[in-house]
Amino acid sequence: MDMKKNYKQSKTLWGSKVRKELNEFAKSYTYSFPFDYKLYEEDIGQSIAHVQMLEKGKLIKHKEKKKFLNVLKNLKKEISQQIKLNKFKTNKDYEDIHTYIEKKVTEQLGDVIGTKLHTARSRNDQVSADTRLYIRKNGVGVAGLLTELIHTIHNLAEKHKYIIMPAYTHMQLAKPVYFRDYIRAYSEMFKRDMLRIENCLGRLNFCPLGSGAVGGTHYRTINRKFIAKELEFSDYIKNTVDAVSDRDFVLEYLFVLSMIMMHISRLSEDFVMWSSPQFKFITIDESFMTGSSILPQKNNPDVCELARGKTGRVYGNLMGFLTVMKGLPMSYNRDMQEDKEALFDSNDTVITTLKVYIELLKKLKITDRNKENMMNAIKVSKGFANAPRYVDYLVEKGYSLRNAYEFVSRLVHYCTLNDLDFDKLEDSHIDEFINNESKIDRKSIKYLRQYSKKSGIRNFIKTGLRACSFNNYLRTGSRKRHTTLGNSAVSDVNKQLTQERKEIRNIFKQIQHTYSTRLP
Ligand code: ARG
């Protein structure tokens, strides 16, 4: 019997003379090679470490190991080249990347040596290891892109550090803030995303190899610690049932990617709104905008819209795979193969989104016209944006916060009823308001008298309103006080930025140092 020929007849790892060939429909339904070929580097890397362990355990000879190493390294080069040239074929002959690699090795080394590659391992521990290595590599990559994105945000904050813009809550003008504080809210979010990546990699960086299909292997000479170290995992997974059963690490990564997209999506929503003719707070470079096939005046923020849209599919991947996992009995089940497309899709989507956003932000402009529009948006509030400052002013004069709030609310209400600007009240209006106050709330008049001292109630209100006016803040506030328009004084910003930049560099260095590894 020609063993070599017989083996070649079956392209699966489990095929044999006595089994029927898999049905064609069943083949295309179950085979993952068309997408999991992306794990080739990880699979070859772990195979290299594996043969080293096999030799140590005297399960293969030194000569055989050398042959394996040679073939595996060449195979890696070959696949990478074919992928680059778009020539890599993921045809139906192979069930998955693990099968492909073993078959290719066996084609070159023959059955007797080639099939030894699978000694002391199963595709169940193999696929878990590959996926962990893949996420580790890509997690570092995503953290790198986040670093660049944050860096770009910091540059924008520095460049436009004096720009004042309206801040909204409930989509209604709340108060003026500095652009630098607004945009750095996003760098803070992305910083936490980086920390989430670090955290997630910390939990997944354990080696399942040596667990076999489930519950370990029967070879006494395998060294799980050794292979874990070779692949730069922190340690090996002690429980060999857990090692092949869970995909919580995939889900966690999918969650972190979803969170990144959620942040990008909110930024996109801001940009869609603010680049629109109704707002015109920012100018997105034309090379990131599209025209309309029928409306010549249109300049559409498609990149931002698509980033917002793609967030949906990244969430979908997370929700979909969470659902896959929820009812699985222990231990490995083929359902788990569904993690790959979700993982690759979310990973690629986040990477391309971050890349395009870095470029978009680098070219983002805030023109004089944009600045003017931001100012006008604050001013159209009829001065009501000053109301919160007026409350604080009264508190500083000795009012209790509740009394100050109540008093200012009534002044706002008076202005609204009479269609008056909060920051442009005439003496006659103030008098009328005081008159109303005395009818509504005697205590209020008592306070006003107490705090106005000798200047008189009308003057006390007038001085307060002037002190809290937006123009007054523009003139003196930002220099005089530490917390004025936003939450940082101009003089502190450079220091803060230096600190923030340093922090981001350190976080990335730490991630790189711990998790960016070279596969064998
Ligand atoms: N392609 C499979 C996956 O991604 C590999 C593991 C196959 N294991 C098995 N027992 N059929 O999950």
Active site residue 170: yes
Q: Is the CB of 370 under 6 A from ligand 1?
A: no
Give the pairing type, strands 235-236 and 206-207: parallel
Same domain, 244 and 298: yes
Provide the angle, in degrees to the nearest 10, between the axes of the packed helices 490-515 and 123-159: 160
Q: Is the CB of 337 under 6 A from ligand 1?
A: yes
Which of 67, 90, 114 is the last residue in one of the domains? 114
DSSP 505-516: HHHHHHHHHHH-
Q: Is the CB of 62 under 6 A from ligand 1?
A: no
3-state secondary structure of 11: coil
pTM, two decimal places: 0.90
What is the structure's pLDDT at 491? 66
β-sheet bridge partners, residue 164 = 178
Torsion of CA 134, 139, 145, 149, to 10 degrees: 150
* Total structural domains within the chain: 3
Radius of gyration of the chain (CA): 32
Give the pairing type, strands 172-178 and 164-169: antiparallel
Query: By the 8 A CB rule, do 213 and 244 touch?
Result: yes
Q: Is the CB of 38 under 6 A from ligand 1?
A: no
The one catalytic residue among 151, 211, 234, 292:
292
What is the distance in A from the centroid of ligand 1 to the CA of 512?
30
CATH number (domain holding residue 505): 1.20.200.10
Same domain, 165 and 266: yes
Same domain, 68 and 129: no
Same domain, 227 and 340: yes
What is the distance in A from the centroid of ligand 1 to the CA of 102?
14
Same domain, 77 and 155: no
Question: Going by CA atoms, what residue is nearest to atom 10 of ligand 1?
Answer: 124
What tens-digit pLDDT sequence spans the chain (520 residues)?
444 444 445 677 777 777 888 899 999 999 999 999 999 999 999 999 999 999 999 999 999 999 999 999 999 999 999 999 999 999 878 999 999 999 999 999 999 999 999 999 999 999 999 999 999 999 999 999 999 999 999 999 999 988 999 999 999 888 888 899 999 999 999 999 999 999 999 999 999 999 999 999 999 999 999 999 999 999 999 999 999 999 999 999 999 999 999 999 999 999 999 999 999 999 999 999 988 777 778 789 999 999 999 999 999 999 999 999 999 999 999 999 999 999 999 999 999 999 999 999 999 999 999 999 999 998 887 888 888 889 988 998 888 999 999 999 999 999 999 999 888 889 999 999 988 888 888 888 888 888 887 788 899 888 888 888 877 776 655 444 445 444 556 667 888 899 999 999 999 999 999 999 888 8
What is the structure's pLDDT at 422? 87
Same domain, 144 and 211: yes
DSSP 89-101: ---TT-SSHHHHH
Q: CA 27 to CA 17: how far, in whole Å?
A: 18
**In a domain? residue 101:** yes
**In a domain? residue 480:** no
What is the structure's pLDDT at 177? 87
Active site residue 268: no
Same domain, 128 and 167: yes
CATH number (domain holding residue 42): 1.10.275.10
Q: Is the CB of 32 under 6 A from ligand 1?
A: yes
Give the pairing type, strands 164-169 and 235-236: unpaired
Question: Going by CA atoms, what residue is nearest to atom 7 of ligand 1?
Answer: 123
Same domain, 298 and 423: no
Give the pairing type, strands 235-236 and 172-178: unpaired
Which of 83, 114, 145 is the last residue in one of the domains? 114
Ligand 1 pocket, mutate which of 124, 247, 330 (most atoms under 8 A from CB): 124
3-state percent helix, strand, coil for the chain, nearest multiple of 5: 70, 5, 25
What is the structure's pLDDT at 120? 96
Cβ atoms < 10 Å from Cβ of 165: 27
Which of 86, 114, 142 is the last residue in one of the domains? 114
**In a domain? residue 3:** no
Query: By the 8 A CB rule, do 167 and 176 touch?
Result: yes
**In a domain? residue 484:** no
Same domain, 281 and 305: yes
Query: By the 8 A CB rule, do 381 and 175 touch?
Result: no
**In a domain? residue 479:** no
**In a domain? residue 492:** no
Same domain, 399 and 343: no
What is the distance in A from the centroid of ligand 1 to the CA of 334?
6
What is the structure's pLDDT at 493? 82
The one catalytic residue among 170, 287, 428, 513:
170
What is the structure's pLDDT at 370? 97
**In a domain? residue 84:** yes
What is the structure's pLDDT at 6? 45
Torsion of CA 289, 291, 297, 301, to 10 degrees: -30
Q: CA 68 to CA 106: how far, in whole Å?
A: 10
**In a domain? residue 10:** no
What is the structure's pLDDT at 342? 98
Same domain, 27 and 132: no
Same domain, 86 and 128: no
Q: Which residue range(s) make up the domain with 91?
A: 22-114
